[in-house]
Copies of this chain bind each other. A is one copy, B any other.
Amino acid sequence: MWTLDETSFDPSKQRHKETIFTIGNGYLSTRGAFEEGHSGESRATFVHGVFDAAPIVFTELANAPDWLSLQVVLDGEKFSLAQGEVLEYHRQLDLRTGVLTRRVRWKSPNGKIAELRFERFASLHDEHLLALRCQVTPEFEGEIEWRAALNAHVDNEGLRHWNVTRQGRKNGQTVWLETITRQSSITLALAMRLLSSHSAAFDYWDAEGQPTLCQRVPARPGQTITLTKFVGIATSRDSDHPLVLALESAARPQGWEAALQAQTQAWAREWEQCEVSIAGDEEAELAVRFSLFQLLIAAPRHDNRVNIGAKTLSGFGYRGHAFWDTEIFMLPVFTFTAPHIARNLLEYRHLTLPAAREKARQAGYEGAWFAWESADTGEEVTPTWVPDFHDKKKLARVWTGDLAIHISADVAYGAWQYWRITGQDDWYARYGAELVLDTAKFFASRAEWLEERGGYGYRDVIGPDEYHDHVDNNAYTNILARWNIETALETLTWLEHHHPQRAAELKETLNLTPERLAHWQDVAARMILNVRPDGLIEQFDGFFRLKDVNLADYEPRTKSMHEIFGIEAANHYQVLKQPDVLMALYLLPERFTPEQVRINYDYYTPRTDHTYGSSLGPSMQAIVACQMGDVDEAYEHFLHAARADLRDVRGNAGDGIHAASAGGIWQAVVFGFGGLRIHPDGSWETHPRLPSHWKNLAFRFTLRGQQHLVTVGEA
């Protein structure tokens, strides 16, 4: 399965459909809204790094001026699915080529019938180029009018970010628009170039912020007319002359076929790196390919100043802010299949080190404490307060920006894993090592000696399971912090051997004195880990004393246990929003025995809100279930993850793709069912545990520059 299909039009599902029919090229993405518009749509194009100030959330990706706009007027009646009659309808996203097609046979209110075929793509070959084609085959005699526009009058759920600076017509078939964000002063330019199958001259409407070209064409029954719209796009982040770049990009393609061919070839190369196939399970195969596609279109190929938001570039959710979702859920996909992208994402963290240091400093700590939510500068942009869902006069305090310290270890883990998998020593010496060392410095400074426990630990934190906040000694945090400090010490030793100059430089700039390093040793050695003699790990101090509940007693339910208990009361139950201890066991498999994984798996699995908790959970749960040999249960969790976007089982896919889940789906297939394991020496093996109906699983990955193809099951 390579295609996503929608065969009938249901207006009530369009927000969801707009998300899953998002197209993009790693520079920008455009949601699957209709060219002609539709009431209630969440039309949006997001360009990486184009942030602008917004209330409450501090900054958000600004919905860019609309490039899609195309009205088709059939004998005086505007084509619109809101009126007339939809006789046939088929929308299809081809994951292999990144082309979105919509075919509609439509009868106007006055009874005029025509077939309209729309195609669009964001060029992967030339990231400043967008292409759209419309073909109309009328079944009547009369006139058809094209009205193609660029449109600056867009907003982010009501908030406008753009001022128009200038606009104009370059030549008969080309117009342009230049805009600037209101607060961050980023210039964005669009140029539109039209190619029509008909030679009639275009009229120009110079309406403020909406340069429009119109053409009237005779309609003959059965005779197809075609309009191609090339749009060039560039910002002041890319060029000192974005308008010039936009105009050049729009002018470049020879025509639709040539542009499409370049697109198809670029995507073929992309899939060669990461293709996954699953024989015997079309849904699973489509889900993993769809996940890869969504990650690939959001992945910056030529920009290390940006990251991937929790909802990619596909919706307004989380405003384009990046979380630990990147390093723990998405990054492995790139590290294993497209290391050049993984590198950009990690270099973004390196660029935001000044902000991470400032965050630590302001809180009274040393080293680098990365923002829980990170945007353009790396400054913390987690909202501190959000309007209460139930009472708009009240505000709810959001604590993750203050307490979720594990983000620093997650970033370090991503950098270290990248090094381990790619073997890029020079990169690690230049970038990764500093990330690992400076986060270790943070964890050593944030650790407290807890006399009554006889060890070091972290009080007042939030771990991966966000049903519990203000907890002490979250096991995930402590385990990862210890790993981070130990890995930093190993990194320093490695640097001293292989890159002594860089080692000296980092010791100097990070002030890594012998006393400090001795303290690191001590903190790591005496870190509180909350491990019972039988191997069971207590998620945080006192977790086992919380009220225990049987989640089955609450079934069937349609909301999260958080909603059922209430935000405050959820703290008092042994119910998890997502795996927490199990995440640490998954990330650091060398540190735990299979028996210990088993006892923790058995304890925490029935206490986790898999269905309505975090969308980050099911894929991870699937992997650990695979490791436990519970393939049926693993598959159930996997399907739940697979359906988060494709079937909108959580009801919030309209806000954008669940990017962490998308990354988790790939990890579940490769590390879970495929059972891929990389050993510290760089060798690898697989322990496949396929669901019984999977006939064959094949996937590719790249280890230390070498691509491997794994095939499991029937030939």
A→B interface (CB under 8 Å): 37, 39, 55-56, 58, 69, 147, 149, 151, 153, 155, 158-161, 163, 182, 205-210, 212, 384-385, 387, 392-395
Minimum Cβ distance to chain B for residue A514 (Å): 38
Q: How far is the CA of A55 from the CA of B388 in the complex (A)?
A: 12
Partner of A207, one of B155, B205, B395: B205
Flag if A385 contacts B392 (CB, 8 Å). Answer: no
Minimum Cβ distance to chain B for residue A316 (Å): 14
Partner of A159, one of B56, B159, B163, B393: B159
Q: How far is the CA of A389 from the CA of B147 in the complex (A)?
A: 46
Inter-chain contacts of A155 with B (CB < 8 A)? 155, 160
Inter-chain contacts of A158 with B (CB < 8 A)? 159-161, 182
Minimum Cβ distance to chain B for residue A179 (Å): 13
Nearest 8 CB-CB pairings of A with B: A207-B207, A153-B153, A205-B205, A207-B210, A155-B160, A158-B160, A384-B393, A158-B159
Q: How many copies of this protein are present in the complex?
A: 2
Q: How far is the CA of A522 from the CA of B385 in the complex (A)?
A: 45
Minimum Cβ distance to chain B for residue A228 (Å): 22
Partner of A210, one of B182, B210, B385, B394: B210
Partner of A208, one of B161, B210, B395: B210
Inter-chain contacts of A182 with B (CB < 8 A)? 158
Minimum Cβ distance to chain B for residue A394 (Å): 7
Q: How far is the CA of A182 from the CA of B155 in the complex (A)?
A: 13
Q: How far is the CA of A158 from the CA of B392 in the complex (A)?
A: 21
Q: Which residue of B lies closest to A56 (CB)?
A: B55
Q: How far is the CA of A58 from the CA of B392 in the complex (A)?
A: 8
Inter-chain contacts of A208 with B (CB < 8 A)? 37, 69, 149, 151, 153, 210
Q: How far is the CA of A440 from the CA of B660 in the complex (A)?
A: 59
Minimum Cβ distance to chain B for residue A38 (Å): 12
- A-B contacts, 23 listed (Cβ < 8 Å): A37-B208, A39-B163, A55-B387, A58-B392, A69-B208, A149-B208, A151-B208, A153-B153, A153-B209, A155-B155, A155-B160, A158-B161, A158-B182, A160-B160, A205-B205, A205-B206, A207-B210, A210-B210, A384-B393, A384-B394, A385-B385, A385-B395, A395-B395
Q: Which residue of B lies closest to A155 (CB)?
A: B160
Inter-chain contacts of A163 with B (CB < 8 A)? 39
Minimum Cβ distance to chain B for residue A43 (Å): 12
Q: How far is the CA of A158 from the CA of B162 in the complex (A)?
A: 9
Minimum Cβ distance to chain B for residue A383 (Å): 9
Q: How far is the CA of A14 from the CA of B205 in the complex (A)?
A: 30
Q: How far is the CA of A151 from the CA of B160 in the complex (A)?
A: 15
Inter-chain contacts of A384 with B (CB < 8 A)? 393-395
Q: How far is the CA of A143 from the CA of B205 in the complex (A)?
A: 18
Q: How far is the CA of A304 from the CA of B581 in the complex (A)?
A: 63
Q: How far is the CA of A160 from the CA of B392 in the complex (A)?
A: 20
Q: Which residue of B lies closest to A393 (CB)?
A: B384
Q: How far is the CA of A153 from the CA of B160 in the complex (A)?
A: 10
Q: How far is the CA of A39 from the CA of B165 in the complex (A)?
A: 9
Inter-chain contacts of A151 with B (CB < 8 A)? 208
Inter-chain contacts of A205 with B (CB < 8 A)? 205-207, 212
Inter-chain contacts of A147 with B (CB < 8 A)? 206
Inter-chain contacts of A206 with B (CB < 8 A)? 147, 205
Minimum Cβ distance to chain B for residue A445 (Å): 22
Minimum Cβ distance to chain B for residue A216 (Å): 13
Q: How far is the CA of A160 from the CA of B152 in the complex (A)?
A: 13
Inter-chain contacts of A161 with B (CB < 8 A)? 158
Inter-chain contacts of A55 with B (CB < 8 A)? 55-56, 387
Inter-chain contacts of A160 with B (CB < 8 A)? 155, 158-160
- Known pairs A155-B160, A384-B393 / 18 extra A-B pairs, C-beta < 8 Å: A39-B163, A55-B55, A55-B387, A69-B208, A149-B207, A149-B208, A153-B208, A158-B160, A158-B161, A159-B159, A159-B160, A160-B160, A205-B205, A205-B207, A207-B207, A207-B210, A207-B212, A208-B210
- With most chain B CB atoms within 10 A of its CB, the pick from A153, A159, A392 is A153
Q: Which residue of B lies closest to A205 (CB)?
A: B205
- With most chain B CB atoms within 10 A of its CB, the pick from A37, A207, A394 is A207
Minimum Cβ distance to chain B for residue A254 (Å): 31
Q: How far is the CA of A39 from the CA of B212 in the complex (A)?
A: 23
Inter-chain contacts of A58 with B (CB < 8 A)? 392
Q: How far is the CA of A254 from the CA of B588 in the complex (A)?
A: 84
Inter-chain contacts of A385 with B (CB < 8 A)? 385, 395
Q: Which residue of B lies closest to A212 (CB)?
A: B207
Q: How far is the CA of A212 from the CA of B159 in the complex (A)?
A: 25
- With most chain B CB atoms within 10 A of its CB, the pick from A147, A182, A205 is A205
Q: How far is the CA of A392 from the CA of B158 in the complex (A)?
A: 21
Minimum Cβ distance to chain B for residue A305 (Å): 23
Q: Which residue of B lies closest to A204 (CB)?
A: B205
